[in-house]
Structure 1
C-alpha cells in the first residue's frame, strides 16, 4: 500500500524501527484517514472490531489496518480506503500474507497474532553490551513502545541462530505470523520488549592460535629479515591515500610483530623505525593528503576526499572508514606493544583513528558517533557512507571489517582501556559470525539464500540491504570476489576462515585460480585460506609465490600457514 494521505492540517509522526511487524503513523490531532493502493481492493473485512480492517488486494496480498480511534474503515473506490470519522493516535499497517512468498497456513490465526501487539507501537530502540564475563559477551536489544503490551518484531537468521532462541523469558516466537523473506533469508516474528543473546569469544591476541614450532621459527627469521630490509625501498613509493597507506604501515608492523615473536630484534626495530617515520607526517599534518576533522559529520577525512567526493574511494563522504582506519589502528596497536614510549607520546593523535569508527562513549565524546559503521540489528558493518544507492547500504570486504574491530581491540587492550577493548572484542565476534552467516555460501546456508544461488557461488561479493551480489567494486573476476574477503591475513582471520566451510567449498575456490591467469598476489590470498585444512598442501602452493598483496609479505603468509588453527574452535 502507498503512504496514507491525511486531510486538514494534522501531522503524523512515523517511527522507523528495524524489524517492526507494523508500519505506524501517530497523528497529533484528528484527521480523516485516506489510504490508496496501486492494486485493486477486492474486499474489506471489519469483523475483528472497531478500528480494524483486513484488506485483500488483487495482487494476492492481505493487509491488516489497525486504528486506535473507534472508527470504521470503508472502501471508497477500487483503490481507496477511508475512515468514516476522523482518526487520532496510531494508525498501523501490517502484512498478513502474500501469495508469492509470505503465505500463511491459517490467515485468521495470523490476524489474531498481529492483533495481540496492536497497542504496542515501537517508537525507538537501544543496544547494550555486557562484557563482564571472561569468554562471553551479552548483547541486548530493547524496544521502547507507545501503548500497552509487547511489540512484535521480526528477527533475522543470525538472531534466530543465537542463544536468543533458547531464552523464553524476554520474548516468544510468533509463528502464526507470516515469515518475511529478505536478502538475508527468512525473518521470524517475536513478541517481546527485548532480545538478549550471548556471543562466545574465541581466543585472540597479537599471536596466532597455534604456537610456532622451532623449525618454523628458524625459517621465519630468514623470511622476516628479508621483508624488513625491503621496507627501505618501500619508503620511496609510499601511497598518499589513507587506504593504501594504511595497508603499507600495517604491513610494516606485521613484519615487526613477527620479527619480535621469533627473536629477531634487529629486524623488529628496523620495521618499527620505518613505520614511525611513515606515520609521523600523517599525525602532524605534514603529508600531502592531510587528514582533517569534519565538523558537519563528525569524522576524520582526507583533504582530497573532502574536496572530491570520489577521491580516496569516497573516504571524504565516509565510505570505508573502518577499512581505512582499521589499518592505522592495527599499526598503532603494534607500536604501542613494541615501542610503548613513542605510542604514549603520540596517543592523542593515534586515538583519533580509533575514535572515528569505534567510539563507545558517544554521550561523553561528542566529536564522533557511536561505533560509526556497525549496524546492531543486522549484526555487521556497512561500508558506504553518505552515498545513496537504489539497493541502499552495502559492504564488500568482511575481512577488512573484522580487521578494524580486531585492531580496535588490540589497541585498547595494549593501552590499558579494558572497557573499550571488551566492547571491540564483542563487536568483532558478532561481525565474524554474521560474515560467515551472510557472506559464506554452500549447502549449510541454503536456507538463507536460494539453493541454486548458494550451490553455484561460494561467497557473496557485496551484500546490500536488498540483494546479495556476486561481484566487487573493482571487477567481476572470481579471484577478486573471493580474495577481497580474505585480506589482510592476521590472527583474526581464524574467526572468519573455518575448516569445514573451506573444505566444503574448496573446489569452487580452486576453480577460480585454476588457469593461473591471475596475479600471484590474488592466487596467494585464496590459497592461504586452505591452511586451516592442510598446511602442507598450502605450503607447497605458496612456495613459488614471489609477489604479494601490498598489505602482505612472505613472512606474514608463512606465519599464517604455520599458526592457523587446523580445526574449528
Structure 2
C-alpha cells in the first residue's frame, strides 16, 4: 500500500479476450493492434475484445454523483486535455510542486532546471532492503524552462521541453526500454555534463559516453558535435537518441536499434485455457525494431542476447525486438471456498455454524471510510457465502446456517444500499461516493490513507466489488468448463450497479475522458501502483500485493454478477498478472538470484521502482510485513502456493512469527491460512491453532468461521 503514514455471469469454457486500450492510444486515436499469440492447452488465444466501462457507459453515472471537493495539487506539468495519470509509474513527473525521478527501467530519469538527466542506477542489497536510486549520470541541458507531459500510454510518456513557451524538444521514455528518445522541435544546442567521443565503428553520427554503471551511445546522425564533445548542435527535426549499452554488448548493434525514436507503446492481452498473455509493441517513428528489456516475471518466451542490466526487480535481458510478449498461469476468480463432504465432516459443519453464530453476534458497526468500511463489507460477504454453503441439506445444522445466511444477507444488502445511493453525499458526510472531475475518479467522502489523493483505490474498492458480487450470487465458478455459478439476483444487481460500476471503472476502465485506463495497473510490471501522486524520489510503490490480487478478483465477481463479459476478461487478465507478480517480487522470488545476495529476507513488504523494503507504512512488526502480502485470504488465495515449495511458505511464516503463526502480533489468522497452503499436515496443525486463536488476533476483515473453513478446505 502507499498508505501515507499508517496501518464472471460465469466464465465461459471457450474464453474470449479483454480490451486493454491505453489512454494514450485513445487520446491519439490509435487503437491497439491484435494481440500476439500466447496460448495454453489446446484452446486458441483470441485477440483483444471490446472496451471496458467506457465513457458512454460511465459518464451519466458519474454525472449523477455529487462533485468531490477535490485535492489541491498542481497539474502544471500536464498538457491541457490529458486525463491526470494518477497511480502511474511516472506520476511523480506530473504532480506536485517539484518533479520527482521516475524509473522507466533499466534507466532512471528526471527533470532538471533546463533539461533532463538519466542513467542506469547502481543496485545494492543489504539485509532489509534493496536499493537502486536515481542515477543522473547523463545530463542534457537546452536552456529550457518548462517540461510538460503531452502524451502518454500505460507504458510510455512524452514530454515537451520549451524555453519561454517556445518548443525546443520532445523526449520519450518507456518502461522496459534503455532508450531516451530526443527529438528537436526547434534548432538548438544541447549541452552535456560530460564529453562524448566519436565511435566511427558504430555507425554514422554515433558517439559514446562512459558512466559508472553503463556506456551510453548517442545516436545523432543529423547533428554536429563540438570538438570537446560537450555540445551537440541539433537542427529542427533532428534526433539525438541515447541508449544504455551493457558491459560487453555491441555498441553498433544497440545504436542501430535506437536510431528511430519510440513514439508510443501499444498494449494487448489474451486469455487461453490456462495462460494469460500480455503483448507490448514499442512503436518507432519509422516502424523499425528497437531495444526492449525483459524482467524475471517475463522470462517465458524467446531468449534475449543483447546483454543485461541489474535492476531492483532482478536482471533485465535486452532484446532486439519491438515486440515484448509473455504468458503467466491463468488464475480463476473465486468467491466461494471449495467445501464439500470430502472436506467437511458433520462435526466440522457444526463447528463452523457455531463459529458463524459467534462471529455474527460479535460483529460491530461497520466503519465509515472506504478502506475499513470496505473490509467490513467483505467480512460480511465471506461469512454469508460460508453460511450459504453450509445451508445445504435438511438437518438442524443446515437449517441454522440458512437462518444465519438470511440475517447476513439482510445486513449486507442494507449496508451496500447505503453506500450505493448516488446522491448519498448530499445527505451525509460518510458512507458515500463523489466524482472528482479534475482528477477523474471516484472518491469516498470519508477519506482514509490518502484516498482523496487517489492512494490505494484498488485496495479499497476491491472489497466493495467482492462484497457486491458475492451478495448478488457470484462465485467465480464456471471457469474452464466448471459448474455454473449460483443464480444471480438481477434485481439487486440493477439496484447496486450505478455506483458499483463506477468503483469498477475507477480501477479498470479501458480509458477515455471520464477515467484513465486501468488507473493503477502497470501492464509492463504486471502489478499495480498504490500512490496517487507518487511524491517520492524512489518512484511509485505498492505495499499489499494481496489486496491488489483481491481487487482483480472482486472485479471478476462483479463482472459475473452483471454479465459484463469484457470486464470479466479484463479482470481475469489482471488477476493472473497480479498473482504472478506477487509471487515473483513479494512472496516467492528466487533468493539465489541477484539482487538478493545481501538481502536476508524471504518476503518484501513494499516494492518500489527504485528499492524494495522489508517494512510497511504502518508497522515494523515482521508479522505485519508478511501478513500484508496475505490478507484478505479470499477463496482464490491458493495462488500464493502455486509453484511454490512448502518449505518457502513455512520459512516466510517463521520470518513473520518465529514461535508459529498463532503467535504473530498482527495478521495471525492470515498466517494460519497461509500455513494451510503448505500441505495437509500443515493444514491440520493450522486448524488446531486457529481453534485456540484469541479473538483479538483475528483481523477486523476476517472471522474465526471463515479462517476455520479456509483451513478445512486445504486438508
Q: TM-score scaled by structure 2?
A: 0.69
Distance 2:234 2:530 in 1: 47
- Cα distance, 1:519 vs structure 2: 5.7
Q: Is 1:303 aligned to residue 445 of structure 2?
A: yes
RMSD (Å) for aligned C-alpha atoms: 2.6
Distance 1:267 1:555 in 2: 12
Q: Is 1:147 aligned to residue 267 of structure 2?
A: no
Distance 2:633 2:543 in 1: 17
Distance 1:44 1:36 in 2: 16
Which residue is 2:304 aligned to? 173
Gap change, CA 1:287 and 1:405, over 3 Å in 2: farther
Distance 1:218 1:367 in 2: 53
Structure 2 gaps of 5+ residues are: 1-136, 144-162, 392-400, 474-487
Which residue is 2:202 aligned to? 48
Q: Secondary structure at the match of 1:371?
A: coil
Indicate conservation of the 8 Å contact 1:119/1:148, yes or no: no
Distance 1:248 1:217 in 2: 29
Give per-residue Cα distances to partners, 1:541-563, cap 9 Å, x unaligned.
Answer: 22211311111111111121122
Gap change, CA 1:496 and 1:72, over 3 Å in 2: same
Determine which of 320, 324, 327 is the counterpart of 2:456.
320
Give per-residue Cα distances to partners, 1:195-248, cap 9 Å, x unaligned.
Answer: 23333324443233564536346524543454356435535x321111011111
Gap change, CA 1:553 and 1:339, over 3 Å in 2: farther
Q: Is 1:490 aligned to residue 634 of structure 2?
A: yes
Which residue is 1:552 aligned to? 702
Q: Is 1:66 aligned to residue 219 of structure 2?
A: yes
Gap change, CA 1:381 and 1:212, over 3 Å in 2: farther
Gap change, CA 1:287 and 1:537, over 3 Å in 2: farther
1:117-156 superposed matches below 5 A: 117-131=257-271, 133-156=272-295
Q: Secondary structure at the match of 2:173?
A: coil
Which residue is 2:572 aligned to? 425
Determine which of 189, 209, 212 is the counterpart of 2:318.
189
Structure 1 gaps of 5+ residues are: 98-102, 166-171, 306-311
Which residue is 2:183 aligned to? 26
Q: Secondary structure at the match of 1:447?
A: coil
Q: Is 1:260 aligned to residue 408 of structure 2?
A: no
- Cα distance, 1:462 vs structure 2: 0.3
1:89-488 superposed matches below 5 A: 89-97=238-246, 103-104=247-248, 110-131=250-271, 133-159=272-298, 161-162=299-300, 164-165=301-302, 173-175=304-306, 177=307, 179-209=308-338, 211-213=340-342, 215-216=344-345, 218-228=347-357, 230-231=359-360, 234-235=363-364, 237-263=365-391, 264-284=401-421, 285=424, 288-289=429-430, 290-305=432-447, 312-337=448-473, 339-360=489-510, 362-363=511-512, 366-441=513-588, 444-453=590-599, 456-488=600-632
Gap change, CA 1:300 and 1:86, over 3 Å in 2: closer
Which residue is 2:103 aligned to? none
- Cα distance, 1:339 vs structure 2: 4.5
- Cα distance, 1:485 vs structure 2: 0.8
Distance 1:50 1:113 in 2: 13
Gap change, CA 1:96 and 1:332, over 3 Å in 2: same
- Cα distance, 1:419 vs structure 2: 2.0
Indicate conservation of the 8 Å contact 1:356/1:372, yes or no: yes
Distance 2:377 2:615 in 1: 28
Indicate conservation of the 8 Å contact 1:141/1:194, yes or no: yes
Distance 1:90 1:240 in 2: 54
- Cα distance, 1:359 vs structure 2: 1.5
Indicate conservation of the 8 Å contact 2:359/2:705, yes or no: no
Gap change, CA 1:346 and 1:525, over 3 Å in 2: closer
Distance 1:81 1:479 in 2: 53
Structure number with higher helix proportion: 1
Gap change, CA 1:218 and 1:371, over 3 Å in 2: farther
- Cα distance, 1:301 vs structure 2: 0.8
Give per-residue Cα distances to partners, 1:251-302, cap 9 Å, x unaligned.
Answer: 0011110111121321111111111122222222155423211111111112
Which residue is 1:531 aligned to? 676
Gap change, CA 1:233 and 1:210, over 3 Å in 2: closer
- Cα distance, 1:23 vs structure 2: 1.0
Determine which of 179, 183, 193 is the counterpart of 1:36.
193
Distance 1:26 1:94 in 2: 14
- Cα distance, 1:525 vs structure 2: 1.9
- Cα distance, 1:149 vs structure 2: 1.9
Distance 2:579 2:357 in 1: 31
Which residue is 1:308 aligned to? none
Indicate conservation of the 8 Å contact 2:623/2:664, yes or no: no
Distance 1:156 1:318 in 2: 28
Distance 1:43 1:372 in 2: 43
- Give the total of aligned pairs: 524
